Every structure is written in C-alpha cells, then in structure tokens.
Amino acid sequence: MNLVQFLSLLGLFAAGLAIGCPLARFVPFLPIALIELACGFVAVLFFGSAVYRRCGWMPRAPRCPKCGSADRAYSVIPHQADGFMLECQKCKQVLVLQSEVAVVLGDDGQEVGRLRLRWPKIVGWWTANPPFK
C-alpha cells in the first residue's frame, strides 16, 4: 500500500466519521465516539474496494500457490494483456494478477487454476476457486 492509497482510505474513514456525528444523536445509549468509529470502519470496508477498482489499484499479491511462500516475493514480467504477470522468485510459478482474479499458469502457459479475492477486497485475502494443487 502506498501513500496515495493510504490517504484515500483515511479520507473514506474521515467521511464515515463525519456521517457518524449526526447518526450518534439517534442512539443515546452508546458513546458518540464509538458510533463515529464504527461508521468510519464501515465506510472503509464497504466503499474501499470500489475506490480501489475505480482508481485501477491492484490488491496485495497472493501467496504463491505452488510453494506457499509467505513473503510474496515476485518478479514482474513484461506482459501485454490486462493486469500484471508475476513470477515467484523461489519456485518460478507464474501468476497473472488482475483486479479481482489471479490466474495461475502452468509450465506450458496454460491456465492451471484461479485465485479469487475475498471480501473485504482491500485487505488482499485470496482463495482458490475451485481448490487446486
């Protein structure tokens, strides 16, 4: 996450806080600060992925599906299609990372499987759909 992405999410959080101020009057049994913080988090969770998609930002890369490397060390390969082509530095597994899908390519360049981004999409949690080895 770079500074622009962080500031955008911080702006969404601030907008949620601003919306939480008037809403806090309708819930007298909870502290105002708690309601404002909850509105800020809800704004980031629900609208953060839409901001990412609109700005064309990529989520955090998934773990390598072949070696399971947790450090997410990838090399970027020049690629002509939409998205980024990434190669694992440990096992040389190739992924094509798009906005919400990562296509896993085999040694011959054919699609082996897909990874889908789970909600909330700004966090970068990936699941295999369907599971593959």
pLDDT digit string (tens) for 41-75? 999 999 998 898 888 888 888 988 888 887 888 99
Least confident of 18-32, 55-69, 70-84, 96-110: 70-84
Rounded Cα–Cα distance for residues 101 and 10 (Å): 26
3-state secondary structure of 70: coil
Give the bridge partners for 104, in sequence order: 95, 113
Helix 3-24, helix 32-55: angle, nearest 10: 140
CA 30 to chain centre: 32
Rounded Cα–Cα distance for residues 15 and 129 (Å): 35
Residues sharing a CB contact under 8 Å with residue 21, sequence separation 6 or more, in sequence order: 32, 36
Matching residue, tokens 């890369």: 61
Instruction: Report which residue type is found at 106.
Output: G
Q: What's the N-to-C CA distance of the chain in angstroms?
A: 29
Query: For the whole model, what pTM was predicted?
Result: 0.72
* Residue 72 token pair: 């997410």
